[in-house]
Chains A and B, each alone.
Chain A
């Protein structure tokens, strides 16, 4: 595999190999196996990472997941379609609305209906709001993982505005359960559009603030630049997606690259990539993505079409026999649902592809040879949500 890598990437590879080799050389030292998690402040959830240490250097690491497995794939088999959105809200709990969309789109694809334009636009707006709420918290959390407490509180303060917006539109702050097959539950309330524009301005201010306070900080850059480099090929092999993949230099965004009945292709925006593939690149790409998301929302609000928000669907939803796969670019990466229907009220089988599960699979590769503090920096920058890993 070495010949595939560029010179810069080879260095990371050689460093990892050297760390492996250190097991047998030098003084006779005894390794120490350390359990990071399941209860550990850095894993914000119940992920367990077993690392074998030589001094403070990691020579071997493996993530152990499943501590929060809730069996959603199985549970969907005994639910009707409208009931399932309640469940899947809780997969990536920081960007809940984004979880509903691919499932609803897959069901609509099987039923061969399409939501009216206004519903599509509002869906896209709420989708991007979920992304903003999610990544704003990531940017704050980054601070606390690297020892700066203050940005976290700024993030919680400004995420509050976005959550208020989501609550205003859907009634639920965390788990909106707002998406319906064929459209949306309700129209937007009065005055929401103006409020949303104000909040987007605030979020852009927050991004500038975080860039000043954290991303631009020398210590932060020292801690993250050149740490946890995931080369392009490795990222592709491990099935990384979302900002983690784009930070490795792969220009890949499902919002742009596939045709969905959503409104992303109606507005003008940019997919950010970064050639470095290190922790800093992942943070930076996410920061730019937040800015881009606010621009998308602003443009969508300008051109919001009028009309109904619900297509004609039968009162009792039965999805015709067939199979459908729809995936979208969620805050954490690619999230998709593969629905197998046998024409009943509920699906026969649903396979959920969530981004974090694939994203953390790269950990054994990337954690070799790094120091314990870098483990935390890499975990923070890979950005996983436990509900999204274990489902």
Chain B
């Protein structure tokens, strides 16, 4: 597929580009999601203006916020388990970086092209649980401990719907490679009409629902924000963190919103691709080189749409209680996901 590259980039150059691309792919969605949704959309929903002073329409507010957090003292409670306390935000952030490594942004613009990309993404996404649990325990704070325990219960319970939601897509595409899933959607056709490709949201809408709800819970966004629950647990597992360690948690939270939206748009909305029929492409090798630039932009747009969904729900709903959350996972999402897989499998074999 790199045969069509106009300029042959040496291996070290490609590696450097991929590392930088990974950092950009984490920080850019995080920044955009925070500014566009957390600052501005939330404010408009709540009939206020949001940040207006720093830069035009408050666009530089993010810089100011980051500056503020960097200036703050890095404190730790006296009785905390210091080494682990300091490590915890890193673990959470690392999980986000590992997650973005699996995301393909274009025909050649991928960071690592795993054969089992879906499996890998689901596996590394649960590393953040470890960081959160450790943060809750090491803080030597009762609120943090409760938050950490809640997070552990919740994130482990919602791994299963997350997997079940993706399985339908994997069955339909016949591959666990995210690149293959993108191609399968864009080269596909709806009853012979290929003007729109075949984005899996049309056939896997139940899977999409299950996946998005599970993502909402994995991200600990309201209505599933019990681990943070600022009116009950002050700030849950983050209570004792300040300065740049808090910033790391914060970046991880919103970068993961972005990255999960990226993965969801790859699984269900056709990822970086446009319907191949528009340009007469057949397979991945036919895709023009400009898609390495256009693809990320298309993917970014789809990511913003899905992040908007996540944030919209976040600002609208009150919070569940943990037992209600568990009941919702085991009694609604998991049966739905299983039924979806059964139906998909039957149709896959039959058709």
- B231 contacts which of A146, A154, A219 (Cβ < 8 Å)? A146
Q: Which residues of B contact A222 (CB under 8 A)?
A: 320-321, 324
The answer to whether B319 touches A154 (Cβ under 8 A) is no
Q: Of B29-37, B111-119, B220-228, B270-278, which stretch is located at the interface?
A: B220-228
With contacts A34-B142, A153-B46, A157-B47 known, is A42 near B232, CB below 8 A?
A: yes
CB pair A219–B320 under 8 Å, yes or no, is: yes
The answer on a CB contact under 8 Å between B48 and A42 is no
CB of A149 closer than 8 Å to a CB of B: yes
Please give the distance in Å from A175's CB to the nearest CB on chain B: 26
Asked whether A32 is an interface residue with its Cβ less than 8 Å from the other chain, the reply is yes
Report whether B146 and A217 are in contact in the complex, using a CB–CB cutoff of 8 Å: no
Assess the B46–A219 pair: CB atoms within 8 A. no
Contact A147 B321 (CB under 8 A): no
Q: Please indicate the chain B residues that have their CB under 8 angstroms from the CB of A223 in the complex.
A: 318-321, 324
Report A208-226 CB contacts with B as 1/0, cut-off 8 Å. Answer: 0000011001011011000
Q: Given the complex, which residues of B lie within 8 Å of A205, measured CB to CB? A: none
CA distance A32 to B323 in the complex (A): 20
- In angstroms, Cα B81 to Cα A313, docked, is 71
* Set of chain B residues within 8 Å of A171, measured between Cβ atoms: none
B317 is an interface residue with CB less than 8 A from chain A: yes
A220 to B146: give the CA distance in the assembly, Å: 22
Instruction: Look across to chain B and name the residue whose beta carbon is closest to the beta carbon of A377.
Output: B321
Chain A CB count within 10 A is highest, among B146, B317, B324, for: B317
Knowing A145-B231, A222-B324 touch, does A154 contact B46 (C-beta < 8 A)? yes
B318 and A146 contacting across the interface, CB-CB below 8 Å = yes
Measured CA separation A146–B320 after assembly (Å) = 8
Q: Does A144 contact B (CB under 8 A)?
A: yes
Interface footprint category on A: 20 to 34
Q: Name the residue on B nearest A152 (C-beta).
A: B46
Query: Across the interface, do B317 and A148 meet the contact criterion of CB distance under 8 Å?
Result: yes
Q: Are B323 and A148 in touch, CB under 8 angstroms?
A: no
Contact between A148 and B222, CB atoms less than 8 A apart: yes
In the bound assembly, the distance between CA atoms of A228 and B48 in angstroms comes to 34
Binds B, one of A75-83, A191-199, A318-326, A367-375: A367-375
Contact B321 A150 (CB under 8 A): no
> Hey, which chain B residues are within 8 Å of A143, CB to CB?
318
Interface flag for B336 (CB, 8 Å): no
Q: A171 CB to closest chain B CB, in angstroms?
A: 27
Contact partners of B322 in chain A: CB under 8 A: 56, 371, 373
Q: How far is the CA of A144 from the CA of B231 in the complex (A)?
A: 7
Is residue A40 within 8 Å, beta carbon to beta carbon, of the partner chain? yes
Question: Given A223-B318, A374-B321, do A147 and B225 touch, yes or no (CB 8 Å)?
Answer: yes
Q: Is the CB of B318 within 8 A of A373?
A: no
Given A41-B231, A144-B231, A148-B222, A373 contacting B319 (CB threshold 8 A)? yes
Give, as a whole number of angstroms, the nearest-CB distance from B181 to chain A: 33
Q: Which of A8-55 contact B (CB under 8 A)?
A: 32, 34, 40-42
Instruction: Find out whether the CB atom of A154 lies under 8 angstroms from the CB atom of B234.
Output: no
Complex CA distance for A220 and B317, rounded to whole angstroms = 8
If over half of B's interface residues share one DSSP class (helix, strand or loop), that class is named, otherwise mixed; here it is loop
Q: Measured between alpha carbons, how far is A150 from B313 in the docked complex, in Å?
A: 11
Contact present for A371 and B321 (CB under 8 Å): yes
A254 contacts partner chain B, Cβ-Cβ < 8 Å: no
Contacting residues, chain A, for B42 (C-beta < 8 A): 149
Does A371 lie within 8 Å of B45, measured CB to CB?
Answer: no
Taking CB atoms, residues of chain A closer than 8 Å to B282 are none
Determine whether B286 belongs to the interface, using a CB cutoff of 8 Å to chain A: no
Which of A32, A149, A152, A153 neighbours the largest number of chain B CB atoms within 10 Å of its CB?
A149
CB within 8 Å of B: which A358-391 residues? 371-376
Q: Is B316 an interface residue (CB 8 A)?
A: yes
Chain A contacts for B320, CB-based, 8 A: 219, 222-223
* A373 proximity list for chain B (CB < 8 A): 226, 229, 232, 319, 321-322
Q: Once the chains bind, are A376 and B323 in contact (CB under 8 Å)?
A: no
Q: What is the CB-to-nearest-CB distance from B41 to chain A, in angstroms, rounded to a whole number? A: 11
Question: A223 vs B223: C-alpha distance in the bound complex, in angstroms?
Answer: 12
User: Which of A56, A146, A148, A154 is B146 in contact with, Cβ under 8 Å?
Assistant: A56
CA distance A153 to B45 in the complex (A): 9
CB of B209 within 8 A of chain A?
no
Q: What A residues does B321 contact at CB under 8 A?
A: 222-223, 371, 373-374
Q: Which residue of B lies closest to A214 (CB)?
A: B318
Q: Closest CB-CB distance, B40 to chain A, in whole Å?
A: 14
Q: Closest A residue to B230 by CB, please name it.
A: A41
A150: B residues at CB distance < 8 A: 45-46, 315-316
Residues of A within 8 A of B231 (CB): 41-42, 144-147, 376
- Do residues B225 and A41 form an inter-chain contact, with CB atoms below 8 A? no
* Known pairs A56-B322, A150-B46, A371-B323; A376 contacts B232 (CB<8 A): yes
Complex Cα distance, B322 from A374, in Å, reads 11
Q: Which residues of A contact B319 (CB under 8 A)?
A: 146-148, 219, 223, 373
Q: Are the CB atoms of A148 and B234 closer together than 8 Å?
A: no
CA distance A147 to B325 in the complex (A): 14
Cβ contacts under 8 Å, A371 to chain B: 321-323
The answer on a CB contact under 8 Å between A219 and B146 is: no
Q: How far apart sit A32 and B141, CA to CA, in the bound complex (Å)?
A: 12
Chain B 301-351 residues near chain A, CB threshold 8 A: 315-324
Q: Provide the A118-147 mask, 1 if CB < 8 A to any CB of B, else 0.
A: 000000000000000000000000011111
- In the complex, what distance in Å separates the CA atom of A42 from the CA atom of B234? 8
Residue of A nearest to B321 (CB): A373
In the bound complex, CA of A150 to CA of B61 (Å): 21
**A217-B317, A371-B321 are contacts. A149–B232 as well, Cβ < 8 Å?**
no
Best-buried of B222, B225, B321 by chain A (most CB within 10 Å): B321
Across-interface contacts of A217 in B (CB, < 8 A)? 317-318
Closest to A32 in B: B142
Q: What are 20 pairs between A and B in contact, CB < 8 Å? A: A34-B142, A56-B322, A143-B318, A147-B223, A147-B231, A147-B318, A148-B315, A153-B47, A154-B46, A219-B317, A219-B320, A222-B324, A223-B318, A223-B324, A373-B229, A373-B232, A373-B319, A373-B322, A374-B321, A375-B232
User: Which 7 pairs show the lowest CB-CB distances between chains A and B?
Assistant: A147-B319, A153-B46, A146-B318, A148-B318, A373-B321, A42-B231, A145-B231
| Sample of 17 more A-B contacts, CB < 8 Å, known A41-B230, A372-B146 | A32-B142, A41-B231, A41-B234, A146-B231, A147-B229, A150-B45, A150-B315, A154-B46, A214-B318, A219-B317, A222-B324, A223-B320, A223-B321, A371-B321, A372-B233, A373-B226, A376-B231
Which residues of B line the A interface, CB within 8 A? 42, 45-48, 142-143, 146, 222-223, 225-226, 229-234, 315-324
